[in-house]
Structures are given as structure tokens and as C-alpha cells.
């Protein structure tokens, strides 16, 4: 009888040891675009989240100030996998503001854990706000760079209608700021609206836009650094061949352009200078020559040959950070105007600050300069 009691106690102890639960708290700080009447639901691989069937999952609890939260008890060492939605796979959370797509949260629950998520937008709202047709290539990797990034490809109005037509390509930095409010400033370039309007009016040639999201390495990738060199190698030797293979492009240098603002303007200038066999034109808005770590000013003072037979749009505002950027932009202008083989357009906007709203208002100028209607 004594042995039986001992075995029973051991069995209970072992069961309680392996059946121990841990608490998982999911906290979501909802983006400003979240409709007031909607609820936020996790869907995932646990029964409490419907085993990936969203109608079976319950909503998180609203805590005020756009915060939603709930706590779950799950067995220790449970494999956790879930997404955040507003009740539909089409309404999944996006994290484009950090260069990440709506991939599942995955980990093993070994102890009490709190997961805080801050989506930048929702998939359905993001797509519906874009004028025209877009294609997504999430978490695009490079052998040259440390971080993956999202690639968004915007297609011109006639792309789906004429299967034989090929198009020039405009590569654009800060891809999460181009088509929708997925950046921290809450503003965008409106590249899709401006391009679509001008194309339909017949004021510019139709072209494809390839938006390349930035990452936490933005500062060093958009600069005259070794990381900046690798970023350009990624565009020219990995991304461009993929785009040319996947889409109906005109792949020669005459029909390949690049655009960016601030540090994105700086790296666009570098792209044209270092890869003249790839790019024939660049638009550099409010460019950060002021912060360049590669001394591009000295390089172009000594040699302008790589920029010959190219189109360069250069501009700068006069307020905020543009006030500091303006002198170095003028220096670049003065150097470029010495070579008649460089097609330069330079503009100043004294009342413009350093942000996406200002760049969107004057975007039509580089569009018309780089892609005039033939």
C-alpha cells in the first residue's frame, strides 16, 4: 500500500510539472487608420485563436488610447504562431513602417511573456488607398545586406491592358513612404496619384515604379559608406535583374531611373555616378550632401565623366533641415553646370520644409523632366 501511494504522488507531481501553464499577453497599439467600429483579433495555431479560422477567435479587449490587449494561459513550451487582424485575412496588420510585412509572430512560450505590436497600417486600407495596381515582394533579401525589406511594384494604367508593351522603370527609396501613410510622419509622396494623373492626361510617359523599403540601416545604406556601396550592388545586381525578369520592363540605361529624398536623394546621386551603365537619370530632392560620409563633392570636382549624357533633377527647400542642406545642393549645382554634357534641372523652393508633403507637391516636376511624353 505504501508503494502505491508513493507512485501516485510521483505521478501527480510529474503531471503538474509538465502541465504547468504560462501567461501570454498580447498588446496591440493600433494605428490611427483603424476604423473606430472595428475590433482587433489574433488568429493563430491555438484553439483560443480559432486554429487559423478567424471567425472562431475572440477580439482583444479595448484598453483606451488605441490599445487592445488580452492575456491567455497556455502550456509551457507551447509553439506559438499568430497574426493580428481586424477579423479577416484581408484585414491583416502591416508593419511596413519598419520594413516588415505581416508575417506571423512565432516563438516557443517558455515563461510569462508580453508581446507588444505596433502595426503601421492594415492590408485592406493600405491597398485601397493606392491608385492603380501594385505587386508586393515581402522580405526581399540580399547577399550584400543585413536586413530584408519589402519591395512594392506600382504598375502604370495600361500594364494589364497591353501584354506586349514594355515600360521604363523608376527605382524609389523609402518605399514605405511612397504610396501610403505607413511611415512615422503620417504623410506620403503620393507617387501613385501623381503618376497616374499625369499618365492619363498624356503629360508623361508611362513607367513602372519599384519602391524599396528602408530598414534600420537606412542611414548607412543611403550614404557614401561601404554599406551604401553594398546597397547599390543589391539594387543593380540582384533587384534589377529580378524586376526585369518578372515585369515587362525596358531594361537599358536610357529607360532606367532612380529617385529619392534627403539621404535617399544622396544615394540616388551616388547610383547615377557609380553605375552610369545602369542608370541614365536621377531625381534627387532635398538631398543630404551635408551628411555624406563618402565625399561625393570632391569626387565630382575631380571627375564628372560618369555623369555625362545623364539627366539629373536636383532641388531643395528652404526651411527646417532643407535650410542646412541648401548650401551643399548649390555647390553640387555649380559643379554640374560646368559640364554641358550633363542635362541638369535645378530648382529651389524657399518656403518648403523637409517632408513628404513638400516633395509630393513638386513631384510632377521631376516626373515630367525624367519621363517626358514622346
Both 137 and 65 in a single domain? no
How high is the mean pLDDT of the chain? Answer: 90
**Count of domains observed in the chain:** 2
Same domain, 259 and 111: no
Higher pLDDT, 362 or 2: 362
- Locate 11 and state its grid cell: 505521478
pLDDT on residue 102: 65
* Domain contains 7: no
For residue 367, is pLDDT > 70? Answer: yes
Final residue belonging to a domain, choices 105, 122, 139: 122
How confident is the model at residue 6, as a pLDDT? 40
| CATH code for the domain of 201 | 3.40.50.1820
Region of residue 262 (left: phi > 0; alpha: psi -120 to 50; beta: else): left
Give the model confidence (pLDDT) of 141-151 as tens digits.
Answer: 999 999 999 99
Q: Give residue-wise pLDDT tens across range 216-257.
A: 999 999 999 999 999 999 999 999 999 999 999 999 999 999
Burial readout 89-117 (b: 16 or more C-beta within 10 A, e: otherwise): eebbbbbbbbbbbbeeeeeebeeeeeeeb
- Is 182 found in the same domain as 59? no
pLDDT at 185: 46
Evaluate whether residue 21 is within a structural domain. yes
What whole-number distance in Å separates Cα of residue 101 and Cα of residue 251? 28
Residue 305, pLDDT > 50, answer: yes
Residues 352 and 345: their CA atoms lie apart, in Å, by 18
Asked if residues 136 and 151 have their Cβ atoms less than 8 Å apart, the reply is yes
pLDDT of residue 108: 96
Mean per-residue pLDDT for 98-115? 80
Close Cβ partners of 45 (under 8 Å, ≥ 6 residues apart)? 51, 52, 79, 80, 81, 82
pLDDT at site 33: 83
64 in the same domain as 19? yes
**Same domain, yes or no: 364 and 281:** yes
Identify whether residues 352 and 285 lie together within a single domain: yes
In the chain the beta strands, taken as DSSP E runs, fall at 21-29, 41-44, 61-64, 67-75, 78-85, 93-94, 105-109, 113-117, 121-122, 133-140, 149-155, 169-172, 208-212, 256-261, 281-285, 310-317, 342-349
| Confidence check: pLDDT of 37 > 50 | yes
Of 100, 122, 144, which residue is a domain's last? 122
In the 8-state DSSP scheme, what is residue 351?
A: T
Q: Is residue 35 scored above 70 in pLDDT?
A: yes
Q: Across 56-60, 176-180, 348-352, which has the greatest mean pLDDT?
A: 348-352
- Tell whether 143 and 279 lie within a shared domain: yes
Write the CATH number for 25.
Answer: 2.60.40.10
- Model pLDDT for residues 266-277, shown as the tens digit of each residue: 999 999 999 999
Residue 335 falls within a domain, yes or no?
A: yes
- What are 73's strand-pairing partners? 23
**Band of residue 55 on the pLDDT scale cut at 50, 70, 90:** confident
Average of per-residue pLDDT across 331-346:
98
Q: Is residue 252 part of a domain?
A: yes
Which of 97, 122, 147 is a domain's end point? 122
Are 52 and 175 within one domain?
Answer: no
Q: What percent of the chain has pLDDT over 70?
A: 90
Calculate mean pLDDT across residues 331-359: 97
pLDDT for 244 equals: 98
Instruction: Please count the other Cβ atoms lying within 10 Å of the Cβ belonging to residue 261.
Output: 26
Q: Do the Cβ atoms of 82 and 42 come closer than 8 Å?
A: yes
pLDDT of residue 54: 73
Q: Say whether both 21 and 149 belong to one domain.
A: no
117, 136: one domain = no
What predicted TM-score, i.e. pTM, was given to this entire model? 0.71
Residue 72's alpha-carbon distances to 16, 49, 145, 172, in angstroms, are: 19, 10, 38, 43
Pair (140, 116) in one structural domain? no
* Average pLDDT estimate for 174-203: 82
Does 18 score more than 60 pLDDT? no
pLDDT of residue 195: 96
19 and 146 in a single domain? The answer is: no
Domain that holds residue 89: 14-122
Amino acid at each position: 500500500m505504501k508503494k502505491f501511494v508513493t507512485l501516485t504522488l510521483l505521478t501527480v507531481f510529474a503531471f503538474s510539472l509538465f502541465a504547468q501553464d504560462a501567461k501570454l499577453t498580447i498588446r496591440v497599439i493600433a494605428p490611427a487608420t483603424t476604423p473606430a467600429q472595428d475590433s482587433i483579433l489574433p488568429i493563430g495555431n491555438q484553439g483560443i485563436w480559432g486554429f487559423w479560422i478567424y471567425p472562431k477567435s475572440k477580439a482583444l479587449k479595448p484598453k483606451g488610447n488605441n490599445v487592445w490587449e488580452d492575456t491567455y494561459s497556455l502550456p509551457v513550451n507551447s509553439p506559438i504562431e499568430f497574426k493580428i487582424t481586424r477579423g479577416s485575412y484581408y484585414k491583416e496588420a502591416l508593419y511596413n513602417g519598419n520594413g516588415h510585412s505581416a508575417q506571423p509572430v512565432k516563438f516557443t512560450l517558455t515563461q510569462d511573456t508580453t508581446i507588444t505590436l505596433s502595426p503601421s497600417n492594415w492590408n485592406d486600407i493600405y491597398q485601397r488607398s493606392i491608385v492603380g495596381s501594385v505587386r508586393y515582394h515581402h522580405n526581399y533579401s540580399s547577399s550584400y545586406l543585413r536586413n530584408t525589406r519589402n519591395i512594392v511594384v506600382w504598375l502604370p494604367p495600361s500594364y494589364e491592358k497591353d501584354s506586349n508593351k514594355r515600360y521604363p522603370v523608376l527605382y524609389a527609396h523609402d518605399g514605405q513612404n511612397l504610396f501610403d501613410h505607413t511611415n512615422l510622419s503620417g504623410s506620403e509622396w503620393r507617387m501613385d496619384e501623381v503618376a497616374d494623373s499625369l499618365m492619363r492626361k498624356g503629360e508623361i510617359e508611362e513607367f513602372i515604379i519599384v519602391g524599396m523599403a528602408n530598414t534600420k540601416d537606412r542611414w548607412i545604406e543611403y550614404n557614401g559608406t561601404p554599406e551604401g556601396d553594398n546597397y547599390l550592388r543589391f539594387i543593380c545586381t540582384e533587384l534589377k535583374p529580378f524586376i526585369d525578369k518578372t515585369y515587362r520592363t525596358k531594361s537599358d540605361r536610357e529607360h532606367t531611373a532612380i529617385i529619392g529624398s534627403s539621404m535617399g536623394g544622396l544615394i540616388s546621386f551616388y547610383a547615377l555616378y557609380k553605375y552610369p551603365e545602369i542608370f541614365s537619370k536621377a531625381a534627387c530632392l532635398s538631398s543630404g550632401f551635408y551628411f555624406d560620409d563618402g565625399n561625393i563633392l570632391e569626387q565630382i570636382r575631380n571627375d564628372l565623366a560618369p555623369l555625362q549624357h545623364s539627366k539629373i533633377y536636383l532641388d531643395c527647400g528652404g526651411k527646417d533641415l532643407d535650410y542646412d542642406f541648401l548650401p551643399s545642393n548649390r555647390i553640387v549645382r555649380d559643379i554640374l553646370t560646368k559640364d554641358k554634357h550633363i542635362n541638369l534641372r535645378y530648382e529651389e523652393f524657399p518656403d518648403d520644409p523637409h517632408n513628404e508633403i513638400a516633395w509630393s507637391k513638386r513631384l510632377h516636376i521631376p516626373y515630367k523632366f525624367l519621363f517626358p511624353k514622346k
